[in-house]
């Protein structure tokens, strides 16, 4: 965590940030957040992240008392204050302190600046393993702070040598605990349409590919795919070469996945340098 954050209406030392102990974020796990990267001091895809954060506040009925322009300026000031050339910015809006300790109320906005560590290069070269899990995330289209189940379950997938999980229900896959998923079969790229967060990295990967089928994707399809990869802000594009004990494709990182990753990196350079 970097030394300065935004809390209680101003930029303060991060260690001084506080929240009321009866806030719904604590007693009910109710709040929203978003996370974006800085590349060469530029907040990458900032407007898309602000779109999602503002929409999440509206959908969860938590008042957001800052305009888009105010949020932009706070983020700009934090990047400068923390000298955040390459890092992360975490926006959090708590559920607030309500009279009945249940209904959403006026929450507190926090924006934290963080160091960012990408997965080891080896994982991009050899791929990762996912552990299948029958589960659908609650209100998946909103980036809520409620990660209780995957945090609790994470020890099991780590014990199994997996990087993360792949959620599925009634034969259809949806997403990983913190990432979207894509499959490639016979040159066609597909990604699930239901029970998923509309990821910002997902959106730009779809733009790069240009012809992605957004549709129901079935668990058995994924196992028979030529290539599989996950996308997120903190991973960008990470190839998947194993699900449970099943090898994906040849069991090696696919050429198409790496091509898409390189095009994404080129887009970053175009926007930030």
Listed in order, the ranges of the chain carrying CATH 3.20.10.10 are: 121-272
Listed in order, the ranges of the chain carrying CATH 3.30.470.10 are: 4-114
Residue 144 has φ and ψ, to the nearest 5°, of -85, 170
CATH number of 4-114: 3.30.470.10
Share of the chain above pLDDT 70, in %: 100
Cα pseudo-dihedral 244, 250, 233, 177, rounded to 10: -10
The pLDDT, as a whole number, for residue 262 is: 97
Q: What is the pLDDT of residues 92-107, one digit of tens each?
A: 999 999 999 999 999 9
Nearest of 37, 17, 15 to residue 25 by alpha carbon: 17
Q: What is the pLDDT of residues 209-268, one digit of tens each?
A: 999 999 999 999 999 999 999 999 999 999 999 999 999 999 999 999 999 999 999 999
The pLDDT, as a whole number, for residue 21 is: 96
What predicted TM-score, i.e. pTM, was given to this entire model? Answer: 0.96
Q: What angle do CA 257, 263, 268 make, to 5 degrees?
A: 125
The pLDDT, as a whole number, for residue 147 is: 93
Q: What is the pLDDT of residues 174-218, one digit of tens each?
A: 999 999 999 999 999 999 999 999 999 999 999 999 999 999 999
Please give the C-alpha separations between residue 11 and each of 59, 110, 134, in angstroms, as whole numbers.
27, 10, 42
CATH 3.20.10.10 fits 121-272, yes or no: yes
């Amino acid at each position: 965590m970097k030394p300065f954050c935004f809390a209680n209406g101003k930029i303060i030392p991060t260690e001084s940030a506080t929240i009321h102990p009866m806030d719904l974020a604590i007693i009910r796990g109710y709040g929203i957040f978003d996370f974006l990267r800085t590349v060469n001091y530029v907040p990458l895809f900032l407007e898309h992240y602000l779109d999602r954060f503002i929409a999440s506040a509206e959908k969860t009925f938590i008042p957001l008392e800052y305009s888009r322009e105010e949020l932009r300026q706070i983020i700009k000031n934090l990047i400068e204050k923390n000298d955040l050339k390459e890092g992360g910015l975490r926006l959090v809006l708590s559920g607030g302190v309500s009279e009945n300790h249940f209904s959403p109320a006026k929450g507190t906005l926090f924006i934290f600046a963080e160091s960012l560590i990408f997965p080891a290069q080896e994982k991009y070269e050899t791929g990762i393993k996912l552990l299948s899990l029958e589960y659908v995330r609650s209100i998946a289209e909103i980036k809520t702070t409620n990660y209780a189940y995957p945090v609790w379950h994470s020890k099991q997938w780590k014990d199994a040598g997996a990087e993360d999980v792949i959620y599925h229900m009634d034969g259809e896959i949806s997403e990983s605990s913190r990432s979207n998923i894509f499959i490639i079969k016979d040159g066609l790229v597909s990604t699930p349409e239901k029970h998923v967060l509309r990821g910002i990295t997902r959106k730009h990967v779809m733009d790069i590919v240009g012809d992605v089928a957004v549709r129901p994707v079935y668990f058995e399809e994924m196992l028979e795919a030529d290539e599989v990869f996950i996308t997120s802000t903190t991973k960008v594009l990470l190839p998947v070469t194993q699900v449970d004990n099943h090898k994906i494709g040849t069991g090696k990182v696919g050429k198409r996945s790496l091509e898409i990753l390189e095009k994404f990196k080129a887009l970053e350079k175009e926007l930030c340098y």
